[in-house]
A = this chain, B = another copy of it.
Amino acid sequence: MAVNAARTAYQILEGGEVRGAAVFQSFIMALIALNVLSVIVETEEWVRVQYGTYLEWFEVVSLCIFAGEYALRLALYRMRGDRRRFALARFAVSPMMLVDLVVIMPLFLPFLAADTRMVRILRLLRIFAIFKLARLTDSMAEFGDVIRARASDLTLAFFVLFLVLILASSMMYYAERDAQPEVFSSIPASMWWGVVTLTTIGYGDTVPVTPLGRAIGAGVAILGIAVYAIPTGIMATAFNEYRRRGRGGGSCPHCGRSIER
C-alpha cells in the first residue's frame, strides 16, 4: 500500500503516465516562472516599495513547496532503481538535485547570514530555479545531445577564437597604448576591445584611433567574419544531421535495408 503510494508519488514527481502528473508538472513550471519573474521585478525600486511584502511571502511559500519537492525526491530515491552503494549520496550530488538544493538555500538564510548584503545575494539564488525547467523539457536534452556531438569541433572553433583574440588584443595594445593610454592600458584591458570586436558587438567604448590601430582593427574585423562563420557552419551541419537522423535514421520502405542519408 505504502509502496503503491510511493510509486504514484514518484511518477507524479518524474512526470510519468499517472493522473495528476501533468497537473503537478504544470504547477511547478508556473511556480518557477513566477519565482524568476519575482526576482527580476523585485530589483525595480518602486516594485520593492509597493509589493515587497507580498513578494517575500510568495517567496517563502514557493520555496517551502520546492523544499517539499526536494525532500520527497530524496525520500523516494529507491524508486530510481540504483542498486549501487551510496545510491542516496550519488543521487544527492547529481546536477539537478544540486540545483534544487541551491534554489531552496535562501530558506536557511537566518542560519547562514546576518549581513544584509549577503542575504540579498543569497535570495538571488532563486533565479537558478530556471534551471529546474531543464528537467521538464526533454527536447532540450536532445538539443544538448546534438550540440555535444559537435563538442570537439566547437571546442576547436572557440580555441581558434581565443587564439585570434589574444593575438589581436596584443597587437592592438602595442598600436594604441601611446595614443590612448587610459583605454588600452594593458593586454587584458585591450582584450575587452578584442571580444567586443570579434563578436561584432562593437559598443564603441574602446575604439582604435591611430592609422596602425585602425588597420589592425580592420584586419581583425574581417577575420572576425570567418571566426564567426565557423560556429554557425558547425551548427547548421549539426542540425542538418539531427533532422536526418530524426526522420527515421534511414531504412528503405520497399526493401527495408538501411540507407545512409
- Residues from chain B with a CB closer than 8 A to the CB of A160 are 140, 143
| Cβ-based interface call for A26 (8 A) | no
Chain A 170-205 near chain B by CB (<8 Å), digits 1 or 0: 100110000000000111100110011101111111
- Among A3-11, A91-99, A232-240, the stretch that binds chain B is A232-240
| Cβ-based interface call for A101 (8 A) | no
Q: Answer whether A231 and B225 are a contact pair too, CB < 8 Å, given A44-B186, A45-B186.
A: yes
| Cβ-based interface call for A22 (8 A) | no
Interface residues of A in 148-178 (CB under 8 A from B): 152-154, 156, 158-161, 163, 166-167, 170, 173-174
- Residues from chain B with a CB closer than 8 A to the CB of A130 are 163, 166-167
Chain A 218-255 near chain B by CB (<8 Å), digits 1 or 0: 10011011101111111111111101000110111111
Is the pair B234, A237 in contact by a Cβ cutoff of 8 Å? no
| Cβ-based interface call for A257 (8 A) | yes
| Cβ-based interface call for A207 (8 A) | yes
| Cβ-based interface call for A71 (8 A) | no
Is the pair B124, A139 in contact by a Cβ cutoff of 8 Å? no
| Cβ-based interface call for A2 (8 A) | no
| Cβ-based interface call for A256 (8 A) | yes
The listed residue (B185, B218, B238, B256) touching A192 by CB distance below 8 A is B218
Given A204-B204, A233-B238, A241-B243, 13 more A-B residue pairs with CB atoms under 8 Å apart are A40-B170, A43-B187, A44-B187, A202-B204, A225-B228, A225-B231, A226-B231, A233-B237, A236-B236, A247-B260, A253-B253, A253-B259, A261-B261
Q: Write 8 A-B pairs (CB below 8 A) sorted by A numbering.
A: A130-B166, A139-B156, A200-B201, A204-B205, A233-B240, A234-B239, A252-B254, A254-B255
Q: Lowest 4 CB-CB distances: which A-B pairs, in order?
A: A233-B235, A201-B202, A252-B252, A236-B236
